[in-house]
Structure 1
Amino acid sequence: MTEILAPRTTRSATAGPPVLGALGLFTVLLGAALPLIDFFIVNVALPTIGHDLAASDAVLELVVAGYGVAYAVLLVLGGRLGDTFGRRRLFLGGMAAFGLTSLACGLAPTAWTLVAARVLQGAASAAMLPQVLATIQSATQGPRRAKAMSLYGATAGLSMVAGQILGGVLVAADLAGTGWRAVFLVNVPVVLVGLFLAARAVPETRSQHPQPVDVPGTVLLGVALVSLLAPLTEGRAAGWPLWTWLSLALFPVAATAFYLVERRSERRGRTPLVPPSLFANIPLRRGLIMVVPFSIGFSGFMFVIAVALQEGVGLSPVRAGLTLVPMAVSFFVASLLGPRLVARWGTRVVTAGGLVQAVGVGVLALTVWGSWPDLGGPQLWPGLMIAGAGQALQLPVLFRVILSEVPAARAGVGSGVMITAQQSALALGVATLGTLFLTLVPGRGMGDALATTLLVQLAAVVLTTGLSLRLPREIA
């Protein structure tokens, strides 16, 4: 840790490559936390937003989905633009746009205005977040990079839990009568601090051989992701109209067209948005395959537990959020131990983390079956703490694995692909596990629906644990 917290070295004409120091690392990690917190912070605020803005369930789904879809669709493009125009420049621009769109969300007079502002906020996040990993990849080396990547993974996991906790606290606090609006307005002062620090401490990096934007690839990737994520996130609330089925039918066509266009572009010597050759990188490919089910289970659980604790158990938003504090604490503690464990045991730490998480999710399922509806923090805390520790031993290591052999020149593309996979999976988790849970509630009751959903998540944990056995033992 001492190396990572060393003062930043100023770059000169003869000083060699840029170096990301302590303040710069803190700043980019702050930028990484903001979009992830904002994805989850809305969960516990949705009932209040619906009441205040007279929004239907379908529109409330769009408040979540509009952000997630825009974010996922534009992430790879954000990485490419950072490679070309400078990652620090895109980071500053994305963060400024994130602050402005957060202000627009907080001041939104109607539900549809809020949806539009959330879409723009997702686009701003897509410009900012890929620059974080790309900067770490380009401006750190050796043990310092390993430590920085571990801190990034810990930040990502904590942000997803902290978003839900912070949302409950802010809604309950009703700061200056702002109610749910505080979950967005709180971003504004944080962004101002982040911009000040980034201007002073984040070095500029970019690809040595920038390439023009791949317009056909960008359009086709956008069509593919929208055609998958939009119907899955909006379909249940909208009653599964015809457009949702047509959109799902379009997805494999658009995905195939995207692959063929990218392969042809690369064979002709161009640099496509997502070079197919990137997936010849075995650590990247295997790590991505694991991140998808992990993220689906993580986000699905966070959404379902927020609904169950508020609408099923009757907890207030703040109590529902605070119930997750032990999970955040165990995640934080285990993530601090992760780098030492990886240095000794390599990626077998991921397998161990999966087994620990499986135990935690199993304990949660048994707790729900045995205690519902008299369910609160003391009953859930053991399972939450075990699951949180297991997650912390997986996520930071997977991020390191995925980017371990990506060359610096492709850092923006590699990080964009990784975060796109993660973000798409987060959106899919809310759509799939959330839809399963809400579909089961009318017939089986909320307690059985929650327990069944946890068992489905457990199956995803078992899958990732099995897949972890195929990871390269050592991390570069």
Structure 2
Amino acid sequence: MATTTSSRHAGAAAISPYAAARAGGLHPVGVLILLAGAFLPIMDFFIINVALPSIDASLHASASSLELVIAGYGVAYATLLVLGGRLGDRYGRRRMFLGALVGFVLASLACGIAPTAGALIVARIVQGATAALLIPQVLATFHHVLEGERKSRAVALYGATSGIAAVVGQLVGGVLVSADIAGTSWRPIFLVNVPIGVVVLLVAARVVPDTRSSHPVGVDLPGTVLFAATLTALLVPLTEGPSLGWPWWTWLLIGVAVVLGVATYVVEKRAERRGEAPLLPPSLLRLPSMSRGLVMVFAFSIGFGAFMFVFALTVQNGLHADPLHGGLAILPMALLFFVGSLVAPRVITRFGRAALAGGAVVQLLGLASLVTVLLVKWPHVGLWAMGIPLALVGAGQSMLFAGLFRSVLADVPTHLGGIGSGVLITLQQSGLALGVATLGTLYLALSPHGVPHAFATVEYVQMGIVALLAVAAGALPPFLDVTSASVPVVDA
């Protein structure tokens, strides 16, 4: 049977995509369709950054509402990601992929026609929730169906896709907003998902095989609800507090978030003692690679999410660039991130932990150069002047991004790799959302007193984070050596 299965997978590329799916295999066309399905929701977290000024002008949204448009998506995505993987294991990954894609397309349509900022926030939360149900099915299908080099190549393509989607999102967003198709301003950044999503849906229904786990892990509903409540109770006061003057209820919610966080840990610990598989397994979090690596990934994500948010606003609101040039401004970073993502695996394999420290140092140089350019040349800062600093930032981020993701799973048992990967991406998405809510809020509070200094203040904080990451990466003990870690796969 094993030989038959192996032969079937090996021959999947030699027959038609439809026949391969019927036989339980995955044709290269199927791989590309799954990657396209993953690209849309990842890109949508960032595509909105260059559209924020246009949304503000169109819907008269407050600064805190704009933050919630981004962070609400991220929190819903983060809290439901592991749940999405487990539902796919139990009910079928193709079914979950197709159903979640339908939901994502409808949520994108709702975003595109939203009449108010409140409606847009709600639609974005739904969009994030459906993205969380969709994304895990991609990696889980690769993990379950492909073997050997085909699996390694597909997972590597996913890694490149997720990284590029982040930076390309702002470029595409700038092009669409500037095009102002039929006077619709920012709305095409969401409406474009509808035709693309429908095409992916129709093709995926024919070329993606139906797989599920023979031993599905149960859904941790209490842990999921408590974790979502914790993030929400923390996110709302951090985004609304500064604009409202920090009324009493914002401090109360922060206190509630602490209580909910403790409750989440207690509930998860008891669930694990009962032999269940909680959303955030305490035993996994105590492993050296997880406990230290997750802190580093979380810190990196806070800085990355904040940078993408404040840079877009600085270029458009501060330098008064139109959305197209605002999107093009990020191109040097996108190109070097892409190139870095391609060479990072080989560099990390050869140099191990030193590659992470080196990536952090390169990113630091880029951030310091970018801040210097903005402070010295403001307000006469050309996009070309920011090109080399942004290229350094992208190159350094790609190395640090790849290395941190591999290091987290260094000593996670193989049979818990899926759960560990789910925890990793959950914390990453939470960090992105909180980066916007915290450092983004700081920027919005300071920008009326001077945009370049507001940007510099936020980037000083990020540089502090990156400097700590450089030290932490260089001091990682042997058991966290990234050369021994495997690529994360979310299949639980």
Same fold (TM over 0.5): yes
CA distance in structure 1 between the aligned counterparts of 2:210 and 2:229, rounded to whole angstroms? 32
Partner of 2:196: 190
**Match 1:148 to one of 138, 144, 154:** 154
**Are the aligned partners of 1:8 and 1:201 in contact in 2 as well (CA < 8 Å)?**
no
- 1:32 is aligned to 2:41: no
1:368-414 alpha-carbon deviations (Å, 9 max, x no partner): 22211111211100100011011111223333344566667655533
Identical counterparts, % of pairs: 51
- 1:167 is aligned to 2:173: yes
**Match 1:327 to one of 323, 333, 338:** 333
Q: Which stretch of structure 1 is more off in the superposition, 164-173 or 238-247?
A: 238-247
CA distance in structure 2 between the aligned counterparts of 1:331 and 1:38, rounded to whole angstroms? 18
Partner of 2:464: 459
Partner of 2:274: 268
Deviation at 1:149, TM superposition (A): 3.5
**Match 2:76 to one of 60, 70, 81:** 70
Partner of 2:489: none
1:100-140 alpha-carbon deviations (Å, 9 max, x no partner): 11011112223322222112111111111222333334344
CA distance in structure 2 between the aligned counterparts of 1:164 and 1:39, rounded to whole angstroms? 10
Q: Could you state the TM-score of these two structures normalised by the residue count of structure 2?
A: 0.87
**Are the aligned partners of 2:37 and 2:101 in contact in 1 as well (CA < 8 Å)?**
yes
* 2:423 partner amino acid: V
Partner of 2:234: 228
* 1:97 partner amino acid: G
1:204-236 alpha-carbon deviations (Å, 9 max, x no partner): 443332243222222211211211222223333
Deviation at 1:259, TM superposition (A): 1.2
Q: Which stretch of structure 1 is more off in the superposition, 41-50 or 294-303?
A: 41-50
Structure 1: where are the runs of 5+ without partners?
none
CA distance in structure 2 between the aligned counterparts of 1:212 and 1:292, rounded to whole angstroms? 26
Q: Which stretch of structure 1 is more off in the superposition, 159-168 or 139-148?
A: 139-148
Alignment of 1:44-83 (within 5 A): 44-83=50-89
Q: Could you state the TM-score of these two structures normalised by the residue count of structure 1?
A: 0.90
Partner of 1:472: 481
Partner of 1:419: 425
**Match 1:380 to one of 372, 383, 386:** 386
Q: Which stretch of structure 1 is more off in the superposition, 344-353 or 168-177?
A: 344-353
Structure 1 52/326 Cα, relative in aligned 2: closer, same or farther at 3 Å? Answer: same
Q: Which stretch of structure 1 is more off in the superposition, 106-115 or 428-437?
A: 106-115
1:144-169 alpha-carbon deviations (Å, 9 max, x no partner): 44443333232222111111111111
Structure 2: where are the runs of 5+ without partners?
1-8, 487-492
Deviation at 1:449, TM superposition (A): 1.8
CA distance in structure 2 between the aligned counterparts of 1:200 and 1:48, rounded to whole angstroms? 39
CA distance in structure 2 between the aligned counterparts of 1:104 and 1:51, rounded to whole angstroms? 19
Paired residue secondary structure (2:209): coil
CA distance in structure 2 between the aligned counterparts of 1:215 and 1:27, rounded to whole angstroms? 31
Structure 1 140/362 Cα, relative in aligned 2: closer, same or farther at 3 Å? Answer: farther
1:42-83 alpha-carbon deviations (Å, 9 max, x no partner): 122122222222333343333223322222222222222223
**Are the aligned partners of 1:69 and 1:226 in contact in 2 as well (CA < 8 Å)?**
yes
1:316-339 alpha-carbon deviations (Å, 9 max, x no partner): 111111111111111111212223
CA distance in structure 2 between the aligned counterparts of 1:400 and 1:195, rounded to whole angstroms? 31
- 1:126 is aligned to 2:135: no
Partner of 2:373: 367
CA distance in structure 2 between the aligned counterparts of 1:221 and 1:392, rounded to whole angstroms? 29
**Are the aligned partners of 2:170 and 2:327 in contact in 1 as well (CA < 8 Å)?**
yes
Deviation at 1:200, TM superposition (A): 3.3
Q: Which stretch of structure 1 is more off in the superposition, 175-184 or 136-145?
A: 136-145
Structure 1 338/388 Cα, relative in aligned 2: closer, same or farther at 3 Å? Answer: same
* 1:231 partner amino acid: P
